Amino acid sequence: MAQFYFALTNVDAEPLLKKEVTLRYPELKLSYSRPGFITFKGESSLDFDPLFSRVSGKCLGKFKLSELNFLKAWVWKRCEEFELPIELTEISENSLFKVGETVTLIMMVGVDEFWVGEYKLLKTHFQTPGEVSSIVERKVPSRAYYKIAEAFEAFDLPFDHQERVLELGSAPGGASLFLLEQDLLVLGVDPAEMDPVITKNYNFRHLKLPFESLTENDFKEGVDWIISDINLPPTVVMREVTRLISFLNPRGIVITKDE
Ligand SMILES: C[S@@+](CC[C@H](N)C(=O)[O-])C[C@H]1O[C@@H](n2cnc3c(N)ncnc32)[C@H](O)[C@@H]1O
- Whether the CB-CB separation of 59 and 115 falls below 8 Å is answered with yes
Closest residue by Cα to residue 7 from 46, 78, 59: 59
Higher per-residue pLDDT: 106 or 13: 106
DSSP letters, 102-113, are EEEEEEEEETTE
- Maximum Cα interatomic distance, the chain, rounded to a whole number of Å: 67
Cβ atoms within 10 Å of 251's Cβ, excluding its own: 12
Residue 232 in contact with ligand 1 by CB distance below 6 A: yes
H or E element, residue 24: helix 14-24
Give phi and psi for 210, each to the nearest 5. -70, 145
Q: What is the pLDDT of residue 259?
A: 55
Give phi and psi for 12, each to the nearest 5. -60, -25
Q: Which amino acid is at 179?
A: L
Rounded to the nearest whole angstrom, what is the distance from the C-alpha of residue 194 to the centroid of ligand 1? 10
- The rounded percent of the chain whose pLDDT value lies above 70 is 95
Most confident among 74-83, 91-100, 167-176 (mean pLDDT): 167-176
Most confident among 91-105, 142-156, 200-214 (mean pLDDT): 200-214
129, pLDDT greater than 70: no
Q: Which amino acid is at 204?
A: F
Q: To the nearest whole number, what is the mean pLDDT of the chain?
A: 91
The model's pLDDT over 219-248, given as tens digits with 9 standing for 90+, comes to 989 999 999 999 998 889 999 999 999 999
Q: What is the pLDDT of residue 76?
A: 92
- Full-model pTM: 0.67
Q: What is the pLDDT of residue 138?
A: 86
Over residues 105-129, the mean pLDDT reads: 85
* Residue 172: half-sphere exposure toward Cβ, Cα within 13 Å: 7
* Residue 202: half-sphere exposure toward Cβ, Cα within 13 Å: 1
Rounded to the nearest whole angstrom, what is the distance from the C-alpha of residue 149 to the centroid of ligand 1? 17
Q: What is the pLDDT of residue 127?
A: 59
Q: What is the pLDDT of residue 99?
A: 82
**CA separation for the pair 127, 77 (Å, rounded):** 16
Over residues 65-79, the mean pLDDT reads: 92
Rounded to the nearest whole angstrom, what is the distance from the C-alpha of residue 38 to the centroid of ligand 1? 32
Residue 142 in contact with ligand 1 by CB distance below 6 A: yes
DSSP letter for 91, please. Answer: H
Beta-strand pair 37-42/3-8: antiparallel
